[in-house]
Structure formats: structure tokens, C-alpha cells
Amino acid sequence: MIKTKDLIKTVSTSEGELQILQPVNFSVEAGESIAIIGASGSGKSTLLGLLAGLDTATSGEIWLDDAPLHDLDEEARAQLRGEKVGFIFQSFMLVPSLTALENIMLPAEIIGLDNPKARALAVLKQVGVEHRAGHYPNQLSGGEQQRVAIARAFITSPKILFADEPTGNLDAQNSHNVETLLFDLNKQSHTTLILVTHDPELAQKCDRQLAMTAGELVEVISNNASDGNSAQQDQEASA
Amino acid sequence: MSNLDTVRVKTLPRQLAWRLFKHEAKRGELSIILFAIILSVAAVLSLSLFSERLQGALTDRSAEFIAADRQLSARHPLDPLWIAQAKTFSLATAEQTSTRSMAFANDELALVDLRAVSDTYPLKGSIKLAPELFATGVATTQIPQTGEAWLDSRLFQLLGVTIGDAIELGDASFTVTQILSEIPDGGFSVFNADPMVLINQQDIAATNVTGPGSRVNYKAYFTGDENDLEAFFDALSPQLDRQIHRWLSVQDDTSPIGESVARAEQFFLLASLLAIVLAAVAIGVAAQRYAQRHFDPVAIMKTLGASTSTIRKVYLYQISFIALLGIILGTIVGFLLQQIVVSALAGTVEVSLQVWYWRPLLIAIFTGSVCALLFCLYPLLGLFSIPPLRVLRRDISATFSSRGGQYITAGGAILLMMWVYSQNLKISLILFVSGLILVGLLLASTFGLIALGRVLGKGRMGAWQLAWARIKRRSLDNSVQLISFALTIMLLLVVLVMRNDIVQQWRDQLPQGTANYFLANVTEEQRPKLVEHFAKNGIDTDGLYPVSRGRFVKVNDELIRTDITKEDEDTTNETRRGLGREANLTWDTQLQSGNEIIAGQWHDQWTPQNSTLPEGVYPVSIEERVGERMRIGMGDELTFNIGSEIVTVQITSVRTVNWQTMQPNFFFVLHPAAMSQFRANYITSFYLPPERKPELTRLMAPFASVTMFDVDARINQVRSIIDQVSAAIEFILVLVLVAGSLVLVAQVQASMDERQRELAILRTLGAKGMMIRLSVIYEFLIIGLVAGFMAALANEVSLYLLQTNVFQMQSSLHLEYWVIAPITGAVVVGLLGAASCWRLLSMNTQVLLRKML
Ligand SMILES: Nc1ncnc2c1ncn2[C@@H]1O[C@H](COP(=O)(O)OP(=O)(O)OP(=O)(O)O)[C@@H](O)[C@H]1O
Ligand SMILES: [Mg+2]
């Protein structure tokens, strides 16, 4: 589903060139859930941005569901994102001047799915905030906002879901609820999940964990790894 | 994607635009930009509609001085076909034939200015009749019946006639039936000193005074719709001979009143330009803020897969909708505003009764759309360029941001509107360049201020330090804010000063006691008697100036033929384009007040002994414009035939003359030595208070041969126009003030989000409410003070340019504004700023934090 080859990101700063990502090589199978963990500033979000086609790499290749992301222009990447990718962010990123329902309809409308409203109402129900359909984001609690954001991410039935610290802004109880919801939906729709988190517990719930240290990505062999698949992945990731 | 899907995606931008708009409108944030457009359209429309109506009234007034909208005059009879042709253009027409002729009655004889007019005369203004000699005239709609003659008051004295008496003009006899006070285009020249007689045009042939050898002036008058008038002139033009025919339109009026109207017109244009600039600033600020608030939604939509064109449409739909709504509402508001002002000023200000003109509407729509599009363009381009990555990295802003390009577009848009609006590139450029200078100075001063702030803002963190810290941190925002505050203050100052200066300069030209009567043809013998007589009656005469008519014989060695044959006379007149073959000469060694030597040297030091001129040649000083017209200048020799003597003079100085004053002015001033052998006639002027008017007949009785002009009515007319213009300017001042204040508020509003965030942080950190409040007040005081100071400086520069280049006025320093502007700037900006932030400042931390999320 996702495959990278010698992915490098450098940026120029006032102190000269800064390499944020060392050559990154790894691949993710369809339906897998991957956690990326690492210290603040290690380059997790940068990697996520590249994988999702929000940013372009300095060099290297990214294949997303067999599409060469590194060869596509911004318009093509946008279309790909609309059709295959869903997002969940730490700061929810709802459009403040649209209602919860309208926010959820938005991706469906952008790619031209039929009955966006009915679809939106259905997912809204799934995330359990149907009573908030007509409310604006600033009238919702953090947990509710993130549920709406999850509903928005799932409405297009994306093949891949990217989540950047989805529970970073939530208290323990809400975090728990959101996590449960996220994994339930993920399982239901067989989505490939790439999740950036600081939370070890959340990371544990994923099939695999990758650790980012100063731009280097290393596979973490978890205790509950049950098949040989991850060892093989490990080699690939650290190659 | 199915066909259906494609359709759905196509309608998406409109749906989304509307959805976003609905909420924005509800939250009241987008209304700022809408309000700015309404404001600009309303201001432009009301100002230009008002000035259009005022100009309409002023033009009507000045049309009265040529008795029509257009006037065609010639020394030959005009082709009657032309008059018929004018009628096919739906124009109203009238005719006048005038000549100088002898009038006889009771064995007395007098030279008169004979005017024969058609039934429809005058097309504009009215003939005025005096109930008794020298009394104030009352308008009449009649003209003399055939066989009737209406006589100037003086003529009754000169000829010793009364109403009902017979008078002979040429070969015909007339009955005197009325005392003529004035006619609209009676002209005003101290030199054409003959009293006027008005008769019916049908009688002119019978008098036989228009035969060969006489100087006759034929005039045709036209009035009608401006387009018809132009069309008629275009059709007539090829048939006219520039050497013979003279086409005069209201705009060509060079009388003091005509010039006042022209100046007023320029002033209104200027004021309209100010409103445009203010509007543009408000819209630019609002658009910037609007775009910034939408950085996130755009990044989100892009992340979710929206194409650039979808996003572009979403926002263009919104802007177009707001522009349209703003223009419609602005038009309504502007029209009502103007109507309210007109009715409030009813009685003081005369406006044309026509309430609607299309030009102001077109200008308002043009302004509204140009502002909305051009001033939103760059903020929107920035918005469209927001990369989707912003959803992950919050510090990422627009990748397209060309402040230079933005300023060039904004500046270009302002200049374009100025030009389109004023149709005057010069005024536009002057305003624009001084604006640029202001912006440059402001940028420099902002950076200076920030450097200064490093010093001033040192020390333990208090309100004062906090204020400086804020100014420093937002240096670019602040410079933008400073520039717009300063612009607003400057615009207000310019309007204020121009109003004071223009109105004052006009008023100064007509102080109380301005001569309202002129006397001409005072003989050498009468002179001492007249002075004594007047002194005894407590009336000051403004000095007596000798005048004599001289006939041009030669200019340098070029002989000018002055034989009285009709053809020659005309060609002489027209090729030399002087004042005709005769000129009025005066002689003095003292330079008249209001005269200024611009070349050569005034001849008061000249004596025949120290003369550097050839033997028998005397110095003469000429007026600048007559020199240009006759193509004569310094060092040229003029030869005059005066009486039967030849006098040769050389131009030793060129003068400018203030034609706006009501005092006798002369084209040619000779050295008295040149005229020692001639008997002079004198002219003078005096002021007679209105209440003493009945004494006039008695006062003038001993001097029946002296010609008198009553210019009281004229002066009053000029005064009332000045009052009107001044009232109109006050109205504009109020409008600009309102517009300016709104720009200030919009500016503060624009920084509200950031302030809110900052305040929440400060509050959470435990800063005292009082300190925060004080720091905000200090911040605005500092900005207002600097803006006011910069405005005073820029005001001085632009006023200097305007007054010297556009209005041809005396320019002066306005030191008082160097104090007033910074203080008012500080007070107004401080108050407005603090007031708009007050609600924010008094919120508690809880509410603040909640609002931020
Ligand atoms: N365009 C850029 N210019 C300069 N520095 C950048 C740029 N993009 C990323 N960085 C830097 O690269 C590093 C990695 O950033 P990134 O956001 O990927 O970290 P992260 O692992 O997501 O951190 P966190 O856990 O705090 O979200 C940071 O130090 C960041 O400041
Ligand atoms: Mg991150």
C-alpha cells in the first residue's frame, strides 16, 4: 500500500542546510496499522506530510497504492488524497465556519460522491455525535470535535488513514474513547492506518511500531509481535 | 467519475461559497468587508452626486453670464440657417445684435451701447428693470416691444429724458418705456463705458446703424441638452471660420465667478479622490484579514483533495457576491445620504433640481468593483497559495506573498481610479506622488521608531514597555497601520486646509468695503471737483487712474493698418489677436496693488536722463497674458496713435495682474512722461454701503457725463457662491471624517484576533488588567502621535504641490497643524483604538481562552 525508497528531506534554514529525514526505506501492507513514535522534533510529522502527499521530498520515491507520489504534481496529489486518503489531526482542523455535518460532507462533496448528506449523517451516527450535526466547531468540546474529524476522515472510505497525534489535545477519558472509535472504524473498513503518537499505549494497539530518532526510522520489535512478518519488516526498515 | 458526479463537483464551489458566507455573515466578521464596500460606494456616490448637483447649479449660474449654455458671436451677420439647424438639434435659440451708436433726445446726444434682442432672449438669467433710477433691478421675462427702448439709468440723466419721452437711435425713433438695470451678458468692462439701450431685434434694421463701417457684433445663443449642444457644435464646426466666429461655452467663462466655479469643481474632484483612497484602504485591510482567517480552511480543503480551481471559485464567488451586495446597498445609502444633506442644507446651498445623474452611479460602481477586485486580489492570491502542509506545520503561511506586487497593484488601482474619476492626470499624479512620499517617510519613520523603541522600551516590563514591545514585534503590521492612519489624517488636513485657504483667499479678494461702483470718463477738470464732492459726502474713492485710448500703429517695424475698412479691421483684429486695434492705456510710476513684475524692471526709477532706450522712446509695462496673446514681450517696441500724436514705447517689464480683484486693471501701463502732452480721462471705483443706494442719483447729478457701473449685484453673487462652496466643503469634510474614522476602526478590528490571543496569554501569565489596558492605550497614542506628525509633514508637501501647480494659489506653511495633527492623531487614534479594544480588554481570562478555541 505504501512504499518508500531512499526518502530524504532537507530544508534550508538560516544556519544552512538541515536534513530532517535521513534516507527512509519502509513499506506498509494494505490493512496494516502502523504507529510512528519518537521525540518531539525528530521528524514524524515531516514524514507523515510526505507520505500523504502534502509536501514533496528532496529526493527518493514514495509509492502510494501503486501511484508514484513523487512524480505527481500538486493537483494530481490533491485528487489522489481526496479519493484514497483520510486525515485526523491533533488540532482537529475542522473548518470553523461550517457545521459539524457540513464539515463531514466536505470531502465527499469535493470528490463528487452522491448523497453526501445521507452519508455524512450515517457516519455522524457511527461516531455518536448526531445530536451535534448543526453545531459549529467552536460550540463543540474537544472530544466531540475529534469525533467529527474522524467521521470526516471515514466518509470517503479511504484506503489509507493518516493520523498525527489524534489524541494529543484530549484528556484521558476522551483519548480513550477516540482511540476505541478510531480502531473500531479502522477494523470495520480495512483501512491502512499510519498513526503518529507520543502515547506508548496507543502505539501498542498498532500492528507495528516505527521509532523516529533524529530523522532515522527504526522498526521497534514489540513484545506482542506474533508473526515473523515484523522481523522481516525490521530489516527492510533499517536497511 | 460519472456525469452526475461532474455536475455535482461543478456546483460545489457555489454551494460551499454560500455555506461559508452564511456563517461568516452570521458571525458578523465578513460584514466588515461588506461594510467597507458599502461605505466606499456610498461615499463616492453621495460626494459625486452632490458635487454634480452643485456643479449643475454653479454652471447654471455661470450660464447666466453668457445668457445661454453656448454663444456664437461674430462681426458679420450669422447665417439664419444655423439657427434653423440648431432647432433640429432640439436646442433653444436667441439672438442679439449690438453696436455702438448715437442716441439723440432733447437736443442732447450720447454714445450708447445699443442691444437689439430677439423674443427668446435671454435663454439663461434674466433682464432686470429698475423701478426708479439707479435702484436695484427686478427680473422681467419681457423684452422691449417694437418701438420701445429701455434705457440705462445714466442715460436718463445724460439725455434729460423721462419715461414716455421719445429718443432717436440712428434713423428710427423709439419711446422710452423702462429703466434698464442689467442684462445677463451685459459684459463688464470699465472701458466700454457707454450706457446701454435695449430694443427689439425687429427694430434694428430701421435704425440703419449696422451699415458698412460700423462695428457690429452678432450673437446667437443656444441652450439644451449637453449632448445635443456638442452634436450641434460638431455639425456646425466645419462651417465656422475661426478668424471670424467665436464659440463660447459656459466652461470658457473667464470672469472671476467662472474661475471660482472652475476651482470649486477641482476641489470636489479632489475631495472625491480622498474618499476613494480611504475606501481603498478600508477594503484592502478587510480583505487582508479575511484572507488570513481563511488560511486554515483553504489548507484543509486542499488536504481533503479540493483542486485549486475549486478553491479559487469558492472565494471569488464570495467576493463577487459581497461586491454586488455592497454596491447595491452603497448606492441606496449614498443616494439617501446625499438627499438628506441636500435637504438639510436647503436654503444655504443651491443645488440643481435634477436629483439623479448616471455618471456618479457609474463611478461608484466602477470604484466598488475595482476596490473589491484589485484590493482583494493580492490577499486572495496569497490565500490560494496556502500549501496543504499547513495542516501539519501551523507556521506555514502563504507561499505567494509579494508585498511589492500588492503595493504596486493597490497603488496602480488608486492612480487609475483617480485618473478615471478626475480626468486630470496632473492632479492625480500630484496626489499620488505625495502619497508615495508619505508612505516612504512612514516606512523610514516606522523603522526609526522601532529602533527608538529599543531604547525607550527598556526597563522592567510595565504598560509602557509592553506597548513598545508590541509595536516592535508587529513592526510590519504597524507600519501598514501607521501608513493608513497617517493617510487618513493627511487627507483630512488637506481638505481642511484647502477649504480654509481657498475660501479665505476668495473672501480676501472681496473684503467688506470692496468697491461696488466704478466711474469712468472723468475729465481732468471734473477730477478735483469729483474728489471733493465725494469726500464731502463721506465716500472714499480708490484713487483715480488716467486712461486714454491708443491705436496700435506698429509693433516693432511691423505696420498695423488701422484704416477703417471693414475687411482690414477684422483681419487686423484676428491676426494680431490682441485687444483689437485699440488699447486702453494708463500711466503711472506707482505699481498698482495686486500687480507683480515677473520680467524686467518696473519703470519708477526711469527718467529721460538715465534712459537706456532710444531717444523719444518711453518704458511700458505689459500684462503677461496680453503679451502672450499678441506675441509681444520684453524689448519689443510698440507705437500708438493717441489723439493725433504718435507715441513709441518699449516693453521694459511684464506684470501679472490679479484679475480676481474688483479694482481697475490695465494691460498697458506707460511712464507718465510719455503722456505729458495729453489730456486724460480718469477712472475710479468706490464703495457705497447698500443703505445709501438711494443717494446715488443725487451724488452723480453734477457729473452726468461720467459713466457709472454698478457691480454690487455681481459682488453679492460671487459672495453667495463662496458661501455655497464653503458649505459644500464642510459636508465633504464630514464625509471624509466619517470615512476616515471607519478606516481606523477597521484597522483595529483587523488586529483583533492577534490581540485576543496575546491578551489571553498575558492574562494567564498574570498581568494586571490595568497594565494591559494602559499598554493598549499607550500603543495607540504612540501610533496616533507619529501618524499625526507624519501627516502634517505630508500635508505640507502635497499642499505645496497642489497650491502651486493646480490651484495657482499662494502657498504658505501651516505651522499650527504641526501641533494640532499629532495631538488630534494621538487623541483620536488612542480613543478609537482603546474603544474598539475595550470589550476585549474587559473580558475575563476564561471567556478569552474559550473564544480562542
Ligand atoms: N520547512 C522547515 N524549515 C525548517 N525546519 C523545519 C521545516 N520542517 C521541519 N523542520 C524542523 O524539522 C524538525 C522535525 O519537525 P517535525 O514537525 O517533523 O517533528 P515532529 O517529530 O513531528 O515533532 P512533534 O512531536 O513536536 O510534532 C523540527 O525541528 C522542525 O523544526
Ligand atoms: Mg509533529
For residues B372 and B77, is the Cβ–Cβ distance under 8 A? Answer: no
pLDDT digits (tens, 9 = 90+) for B489-506: 777 777 777 777 767 766
- Asked whether residue B474 carries a pLDDT value surpassing 70, the answer given is no
pLDDT at A228: 41
First to last CA, chain B: 38
Chain A residues within 8 angstroms (CB to CB) of chain B? 45, 48-49, 52, 54-55, 74-75, 78-83, 85, 87, 89, 91, 93-99, 102, 106-107, 109-114, 136, 138, 152, 164
Q: Which of B198-207, B286-295, B589-598 has the highest mean pLDDT?
A: B198-207
Rounded to 5 degrees, what are φ and ψ at A212?
-105, 125
Residue B686 has a pLDDT of 85
Q: For A39-43, A197-201, B232-236, B704-708, which range has the lowest pLDDT when averaged over its residues?
A: B704-708
pLDDT at residue B784 greater than cutoff 90: no
The per-residue pLDDT for B662 is: 62
CB contact under 8 Å between A74 and B308, yes or no, is yes
Ligand 1 center–CA A42 separation, angstroms? 7
Evaluate: CB of A202 within 6 angstroms of ligand 1.
no
Locate the domains of chain B by residue range.
13-65+257-423, 71-252, 442-511+712-853, 517-710
User: Can you give the pLDDT at residue B319?
Assistant: 86
* Percent of chain B scoring above 70 in pLDDT: 77
Q: Residue A37's pLDDT is what?
A: 92
Alpha-carbon distance B502 to nearest alpha carbon in chain A (angstroms): 52
CA angle B133–B139–B143, rounded 5-degree value: 90
Is A96 within 8 Å of B393 when comparing Cβ atoms? no
C-alpha atoms less than 13 angstroms from C-alpha of B657 in its C-beta half-sphere: 22
Q: Is the CB of A90 under 6 A from ligand 1?
A: no
Report the alpha-carbon distance of residue A204 to residue A188 in Å, rounded: 19
For the cut 60, the answer to whether the pLDDT of residue B192 exceeds it is no
Which helix (H) or strand (E) segment is A85 a member of? strand A85-89
- Whether residue A41 has its Cβ less than 6 Å from ligand 1: yes
Please report the pLDDT score of residue B52 as a whole number. 73
Annotate B148-187 with b (16+ C-beta within 10 A) or e (fewer): bbbbbbbbbbbbebeeebebebbebebebbbbbbbbbbbe
Percent of chain A whose pLDDT exceeds 70: 92
How close is the nearest chain B Cα to the Cα of A1, in Å?
19
A237 lines ligand 1 (CB under 6 A): no
Q: What's the pLDDT tens digit per position in B530-585?
A: 888 888 888 877 678 888 878 888 888 777 654 443 343 344 344 444 445 677 78
A78/B302 CB distance under 8 A? yes
Whether the pLDDT of residue B133 is over 60: the answer is: yes
Beta bridge partners of B629: none
Does the pLDDT at position B100 exceed 70?
yes
CA dist B442 and B479 (Å) reads: 7
Whether the CB of A174 sits within 6 Å of ligand 1: no
pLDDT by residue for chain A (239 residues), tens only, comes to 899 999 999 988 888 888 999 898 989 999 899 999 998 889 999 999 999 998 899 999 999 999 999 999 988 999 999 999 999 998 888 988 889 999 999 999 888 888 889 999 999 998 888 899 999 888 898 889 999 999 999 999 999 999 998 888 888 888 888 888 889 888 888 899 999 988 888 898 899 999 999 888 888 876 554 444 444 444 444 43
Percent of chain B with pLDDT over 90: 8
Q: For residue A47, which atom of ligand 1 is closest to its CA?
A: 18
Cis? peptide before B546, omega within 30° of 0: no
Give the ipTM of the model, two decimals please.
0.90
Nearest CA in chain A to B24: A97
Q: Which helix (H) or strand (E) holds A36?
A: strand A33-38
Evaluate if residue B311 carries a pLDDT over 80.
yes
- A11 CB within 6 A, ligand 1: yes
Question: What would the pLDDT profile of B422-455 be if each residue is shown by its tens digit?
Answer: 777 887 788 788 778 767 776 787 677 667 766 7
Q: Ligand 2 centroid to A36 CA: how many Å?
A: 10
Number of alpha carbons in the 13 Å side-chain half-sphere of residue B91: 25
Pocket flag, ligand 1, residue A20 (CB < 6 Å):
yes
Of B64 and A155, the one with more pLDDT: A155
CA A132 to chain centre: 25
Contact A7, A24 (CB under 8 A): yes
Write out pLDDT tens, residues B45-57: 877 787 677 667 7
CATH number, domain with residue A110: 3.40.50.300
Number of neighbours of residue B754 by Cβ within 10 angstroms: 14
Nearest CA in chain A to B387: A54
Which grid coordinates belong to B163? 419715461
* Confidence at residue B570, expressed as pLDDT on a 0 to 100 scale: 41
Task: Reduce the secondary structure of B55-119 to three states and give it as a string.
Answer: HHHHHHHHHHCCCCCEEEEECCCCCHHHHHHHHHCCCEEEEEEEEEEEEEECCEEEEEEEEEECC
For A115, the domain range is 2-236
A44 C-beta closer than 6 A to ligand 1: yes
Near ion ligand 2, which residues have CB within 5 Å? A 45
How far, in Å, is the centroid of ligand 1 from the Cα of B396?
Answer: 12
Write the residue with the smallest CA distance to atom 29 of ligand 1. Answer: A41
The secondary structure of B429-443 as a DSSP string is: HHHHHHHHHHHHHHH
Number of structural domains chain A divides into: 1
Cell numbers representing residue B806 in the block:
493646480
CB atoms within 10 A of CB A72: 17
Instruction: Check A78 against B306: CB less than 8 A apart.
Output: yes
What SS3 string covers B312-336? HHHHHHHHHHHHHHHHHHHHHHHHH
Average pLDDT, rounded, for chain B? 78
Between B119 and B772, whose confidence is greater? B119
Question: Among all residues of chain A, which has the CA nearest to that of B391?
Answer: A93
- For B201-221, the pLDDT digits (tens) are 999 888 888 877 778 889 999
SS3 content of chain A, % helix, strand, coil (to 5): 40, 25, 35
Q: Which ligand is nearest to the CA of A46?
A: 1
Atom of ligand 1 at shortest range from CA of A13: 4
CA A202 to ligand 1 center in whole angstroms: 22
Per-residue pLDDT of B602-642, as tens digits, reads 888 888 888 888 888 899 999 887 888 778 888 888 888 88
A-B contacts (CB, under 8 Å) = 101
pLDDT mean over B183-188: 73
| Whole-prediction pTM | 0.65
- Give B347 or B596, the one with higher predicted confidence: B596
pLDDT at B76 over 80: yes
